[in-house]
Amino acid sequence: MWNKFLASTLPAQGSALAAKWDTLYWFLTAISVFFFFLIVGGMIYFAIKYRHKKGTPETTTYITGHHKLEAVWITIPTILVLVIFAWGYKLYVNMIEAPENAYEIHVQAEKWVWEFHYKNGRKTIGDLFVPLNKPVKLIMTSEDVIHSFFVPDFRVKQDVVPGMYTSVWFQAEAPGKHEIFCAEYCGTSHSGMLGQVIVLDDAKWADFEQGKEIAQSDKPVSMQDQGAELFRKRSCAACHSLDGTRRVGPTLKGLFNADVPLADGTTVKADENYLRESIEVPTAKIVQGFAPSMPSYKGQLTDAEMTALLTYLKSLK
Amino acid sequence: MSGNYITSEKGLWSWMKTLDHKRIGVMYLFTILTFFLIGGLFAVAIRIQLAHLGKNIVTADQYNKLFTYHGAIMVFLVVIPAIPAALGNFALPLLVGAKDVAFPRLNLFSYYLYIIGALVACSSLLVGGADTGWTFYTPYALKTGVATLYVVAGAFIAGFSSVLTGLNFIVTINKLRAPGLTAFRLPLFCWSIYATSIIQVLATPVLAITLLLLIMERVMKIGVFDASLGGDPVLFQHFFWFYSHPAVYIMILPAMGIISEIVPVFSRKPIFGYKAIAYSSLGIAAISFLVWGHHMFVSGQSKLANFVFSLLTMLVAVPTGIKVFSWVATMYKGSIRFQAPMLYAFGFLELFTIGGLTGIYCATIAIDVHLTDTYFIVAHFHYVMVGGTLMGLLAGMHYWFPKMTGRMYSEVAAFWAWLFIVVGFNLTFFPQFILGSQGMPRRYYDYPAKFTYLNRMSSFGTSLVSIGFFMVAIYLIYAIKKGKIAPSNPWNGLTLEWQTTSPPPTENFEQTPVVKDWFYEYRSKA
Ligand SMILES: [Cu+2]
Ligand SMILES: [Cu+2]
């Protein structure tokens, strides 16, 4: 149980670096636990042992210092922090110096989406496809404010800054999916600026490079679930609630087939065409009482994805 | 006693125009605690939202404003001025045996600057509210609502209050010490205030320039920070942390000073390693100017810069360690009393030790890459700033409360409130270390479901802390009205403030005290 708890303190180890990082982390934790018990334990021990009791004399032993002891608690911590520093720096160099042969992918961040551009001309939003066991280097920039590319499973993070290129590299060693967070505060939907790294084995990676569609899972996923996934990944939830509360945009609860009052005073029935239009050309019909602040998703969703999204929206009762 | 500093003049106006350092200290304390309440309520709202109780209580935009105001109010209006401006003002002249600070008029002026800065910052709420976070990072701060300008202008003005207070204290300590009070007889609180004041005077102007540039960039588009105008957004971070890192020591050094006063008094023993503690304050102040880049390990800063900043940051651990070990050693063979000030000193040691040790994680570059901008950092700096500064403030408030008001509070009530605060604090912030290690980024309005459990635990802890603080407010207000009359020296302290009446007369001492010895002669005077 104890082991399980410790393991759950850190994210899964998804890259070659993660295990090395974890070793240093646990080394620091061991030292911290030791000093914590030394200091706080010492404090509690003295507090109890030397507590004032009624009837004992007020006067105490006159001690003003002890040079040898002081030398000890200057020297030992100094050595320790220098060792920690050197270890941390060495690992850091390892983290930032990408191998020559790393596969390069360009990353463009903007409020609140991650866009990935590959050598073969492909572009993906939210999903970053990478090969298994091969070094990958990301060259990143931002369109608007500072964001930060963070993959906990890989133990890497790098700010993405407008007007300059920053880079980060990793070698994914665990197939499957790994979360991407935006770690630098970037406004309204900072916490919705999510994505995932999808690690492909050699065969699938070859398919991807040739421009074939990649089935993301071996098990078939229902349309509705795919839609829910898209809803999350495209940050729709940043502006729309599913439980009736009002956010930047109207709630989408029970929208399908309802009568929607529009800003121009007319009403419209929310059928499939209306939903589709609302997503692709949001400014065509503005809902009464809301600002026309929804971005257009035209060209960002394939036909299959749009169908999945609509299936999902229709299911929201 | 009829003529103490409280009763000497009556009416609100007599307070507003007072030049008495004790009254100004009390006014600061009252104002700062009011802002603490406001900043605290913002924090409570944040924690309710993050408890994910099935419903959002605020929108994402409102949430972003909540943490912005929580941070800005707590940092600029509470934690930075808390100990120097409030307790420093009240206690420093008494501790050095002076009648007042060196420049009483300037002192009152500083107070009003603080108030004006605070009001300007808060007026931003009327124009929509700022949402930049307390760090005002560019280019976000250049593009978002105009309210940002008001908060920045407020911080700019309040900064001058800080500079002038620091200047006043430096001169006071240099010039107004009682006869016989040599440098190495100075109470350690004075040493720490001295080190703090140096940082305030040297670093705050850099903040002022930075904030001014930010305002100019927004209004006049001069092109320093905005990439689209050819500026460098990361430059802002350098400027900002050049001040804001030393500011961390403006926050913590005075708290360390208070602990250095309280531990010997409540152990009835000389402080262990007086000189080492005194010099370590200066050492920390000196290094504090050279470590700002540790906030920017993933900002795109060069490898060499990261090397230097990580190395220097590590060195802060050494003088800090000296202090902590010395406090514990002071208790050895003491005669220890478990009264409220000492309880808060215990609280300080527990929380600050955790804050300090986790600081080493953050200073280790490779480790910081994963932990920075996550809840680990949030937990770390709350352990240092709340666990350190606020525990120090509470310790000092309880220590000097009898001197300030002439009344005693209930030790029983104080014990229970302390227990709620310390237990609740650990429950609030310890889980956040784990959340951060697991990768939960900070300033997140919403989070993946796997983080729910620890977030709820954290929110639950907040309710305990809140109860604790309300208890403190209640028993202290009760004590001011109905508490037992305090003797001149309730704790058996040997420093000068205990040699005058509680509360002291306006001129502090009937005759100028003469110091013949240092303040730790528990052999003869206990
Ligand atoms: Cu972000
Ligand atoms: Cu710092």
pLDDT, residue B1, reads 41
- Helix/strand/coil for A171: strand
Which ligand sits nearest to residue A186's alpha carbon? 1
What pLDDT band is residue A219 in, cutting at 50, 70 and 90?
Answer: low
Q: Is B374 strand, coil or helix?
A: strand
Closest ligand by atom to B60 CA: 1
Residue B4 lies in a domain: no
What is d(CA A238, CA A215) in angstroms, rounded to the nearest whole number? 27
Q: Which among B251, B283, B250, B254 is positioned nearest to B189, based on CA atoms?
A: B254
- The residue-averaged pLDDT of A175-202 equals 93
Of B65, B60, B58, B10, the residue nearest B39 (C-alpha): B65
A39 touches chain B (CB under 8 A): yes
Nearest CA-CA partner of A152 in A263, A250, A241, A21: A21
**Secondary structure class of A269 (helix, strand, coil):** strand
Q: Is the pLDDT of residue A214 over 70?
A: no
Q: Rounded to 5 degrees, what angle do the CA atoms A212, A214, A217 make?
A: 160
Please, what is the end-to-end C-alpha distance for chain B in angstroms? Answer: 26
pLDDT at B394: 97
Give CA–CA dist B178/B189, Å, rounded.
16
The whole-number average pLDDT for the span A175-185 is 95
Which amino acid, one-letter code, is at A134? Answer: K
- Indicate the pairing of strand B484-485 with strand A135-142: unpaired
Residue B104 within a domain = yes
| Token code pair at residue B450 | 């796997």
DSSP assignment of A107-162: EEEETTEEEEE-TTS-EEESEEEEETTSEEEEEEEESSS-EEEEEGGGTEEEEE-B
pTM for the predicted model, two decimal places: 0.88
pLDDT digits (tens, 9 = 90+) for A249-277: 898 988 988 999 998 889 999 998 999 99
With an 8 Å Cβ cutoff, are B139 and A47 in contact?
no
User: Residue B269 in contact with residue B333, Cβ under 8 Å?
Assistant: yes
Burial class (CB in 10 A: 0-12, 13-18, 19+), B220: exposed
The average pLDDT across A287-303 equals 82
Residue with tokens 């570059």: B365
pLDDT of residue A223: 81
Q: Is residue B2 part of a domain?
A: no
Residue-wise pLDDT tens digits, B267-320: 999 999 999 999 998 899 899 889 999 999 999 888 999 999 999 999 999 999
Cα–Cα dist B260/B262, whole Å: 6
B517 within some domain = yes
| Separation of CA B444 and ligand 2 centre (Å) | 22
> Three-state SS across B53-115?
CCCCCCCHHHHHHHHHHHHHHHHHHHHHHHHHHHHHHHHHHHHCCCCCCCCHHHHHHHHHHHH
Here the tokens at position B5 are: 């500093």
Among B26, B445, B287, B345, smallest CA distance to A44 is for B345
Mean pLDDT taken over chain B: 93
Is B6 contained in some domain?
A: no
The residues near B188 (Cβ < 8 Å, ≥ 6 apart) are B257, B260, B261, B271, B274, B277, B278, B281
Average pLDDT over all residues of chain A: 89
Which CATH number covers residue B86?
Answer: 1.20.210.10
Which comes out higher in pLDDT, residue A231 or B271?
B271
Which pLDDT belongs to residue B526? 45
Q: Does B446 reach chain A within 8 Å, measured CB to CB?
A: yes
Cβ-proximal residues to A145 (8 Å cutoff; 6+ apart), any chain: A111, A162, A186, A187, B137, B139, B140, B143
C-alpha to C-alpha distance for B395 and B468, rounded to whole angstroms: 14
Distance between CA atoms of residues B49 and B459, nearest Å: 9
**B477 to chain A nearest CA, in Å?**
29
- Chain A interface, best mutation among B148, B298, B339, by max A CB count within 10 A: B298
Q: Nearest chain B residue to A80 by CA: give it.
A: B314
Answer yes or no: is pLDDT of B2 > 70.
Answer: no
Burial letters B277-299, b for 16+ CB under 10 A, else e: bbebbbbbbebbbbbbbbbbbbb
The answer to whether B495 touches B261, Cβ cutoff 8 Å, is yes
Mapped onto helix, strand or coil, the DSSP state of residue B271 is: coil
* Residues paired with residue A115 on neighbouring β-strands, in sequence order: A108, A125
Angle subtended at Cα B55 by Cα B52 and Cα B60, rounded to the nearest 5 degrees: 80
- Can you give the pLDDT at residue A189? 87
pLDDT surpasses 60 at A216 = no
Give yes or no for residue B370 having a pLDDT over 60: yes
Residue of B nearest to A153 (CA): B439
Nearest to A146 among B233, B328, B358 (CB): B233
Question: In DSSP terms, which residues pair with A149 in a beta bridge?
Answer: A158, A182
End-to-end CA distance of chain A: 41
pLDDT of residue B513: 92
Confidence of residue B524 (pLDDT cuts 50, 70, 90): low
Tell me the mean pLDDT in the region A6-15: 90
* A19-70 per-position pLDDT tens digit: 999 999 999 999 999 999 999 999 999 999 999 988 777 778 888 899 999 9
pLDDT greater than 80 at residue A151: yes
Residue A215 pLDDT: 58
Q: Considering only residues 141 to 170 of chain B, which have any Cβ-Cβ distance to chain A shorter than 8 Å?
A: 143-144
CA distance A73 to B162: 34
List of chain B residues whose C-beta atoms are within 8 Å of the C-beta of residue A240: none
Compute the distance between CA of residue B415 and CA of residue A304 in angstroms, rounded to an integer. Answer: 64
Cα B40 from Cα B349, distance rounded (Å): 23
Strand order, beta sheet including A127-131: A127-131, A195-200, A176-182, A147-151, A156-160
Beta carbons within 8 Å of B141's beta carbon, 6+ residues apart: B132, B148, B152, B214, B218
3 state DSSP class of B212:
helix
Q: What angle do CA B4, B9, B14 make, to 5 degrees?
A: 130
With b for 16 or more beta-carbon neighbours within 10 A and e for fewer, the B134-145 pattern comes to bbbbbbbbbbbb
Q: Which of B28, B193, B3, B161 is nearest to B96 (CA)?
A: B193
The DSSP bridge pattern shows strands B484-485 and B407-408 to be antiparallel
Q: How far is the CA of A119 from the centre of ligand 1 (A)?
A: 26
In this structure, the number of other CB atoms found within 10 A of the CB of residue B133 comes to 20
Q: What is the pLDDT of residue A235?
A: 73
Q: Which-ligand-closest: CA of B368?
A: 2
Tell me whether residue B430 is in a domain: yes
Ligand 2 center–CA B292 separation, angstroms: 5
* DSSP code for B295: G
The mean pLDDT value for B33-58 works out to 92
What is the per-residue pLDDT across B165-216, written as a single tens digit (0 to 9) for each? 999 999 999 999 999 999 999 999 999 999 999 999 998 998 889 889 998 9
Would you call A88 helix, strand, or coil by DSSP? Answer: helix
- Confirm whether B490 is domain-assigned: yes
The alpha helices in chain A, defined as continuous H runs, are 2-8, 16-36, 42-49, 67-96, 202-209, 223-233, 272-280, 303-314
Q: What is the ipTM of this complex?
A: 0.93
Dihedrals φ, ψ of A259, to 5°? Answer: -95, 125
Between CA B291 and CA B283 the distance in angstroms is 13
pLDDT of residue A242: 82
CA geometry: angle A244, A250, A254, nearest 5 deg: 50
User: What's the number of CA atoms in the CB half-sphere (13 Å) around residue A224?
Assistant: 4
- Return the residue matching tokens 């699938």: A204
Distance, CA of B258 to CA of B189 (rounded, Å): 6
- pLDDT above 80 for B525: no
pLDDT above 60: residue A196 = yes
Query: Does the pLDDT of residue B90 top 60, yes or no?
Result: yes
User: Using one digit for the tens of pLDDT, what is the confidence trace for B381-414?
Assistant: 999 999 999 999 999 999 999 999 999 999 999 9
Mean pLDDT for the stretch of residues A297-312: 84
Q: Give the tens place of pLDDT for each residue, B489-518.
A: 999 999 999 999 999 999 999 889 999 888
Distance of CA A13 from the midpoint of ligand 1 (Å): 24
Which runs of E-coded beta strand occur in B95-174?
none
Please check whether residue B173 is in contact with residue B190, taking contact to mean a CB–CB distance below 8 angstroms: yes
Write out the DSSP string of B412-453.
HHHHHHHHHHHHHHHHHHHHHHHHHHHTPBSS-SS--GGGHH
What does the pLDDT look like over B119-161, one tens digit per residue? 999 999 999 899 999 999 988 998 888 899 999 999 999 999 9
3-state secondary structure of B491: coil
Interface residue B57 vs chain A (CB under 8 A): no
Q: Nearest C-alpha of chain B: how many angstroms from A210? A: 33
CA dist., res. B137 & res. B123, Å (int): 21
Give the count of domains, chain B. 1
Domain hosting residue B325, numbered range: 18-524
Place of tokens 């002071």: B330
**Given an 8 Å threshold on Cβ–Cβ distance, is B437 in contact with A9?**
yes
Q: Could you report the per-residue pLDDT of B216-270, keeping only the tens digit for each?
A: 998 888 889 988 888 899 999 999 999 889 988 999 999 999 999 999 999 999 9
* Whether pLDDT at B46 is above 50: yes
- The CA-atom distances, in angstroms, between B385 and each of A207, A269, B48, B254, B391 are 53, 55, 22, 12, 9
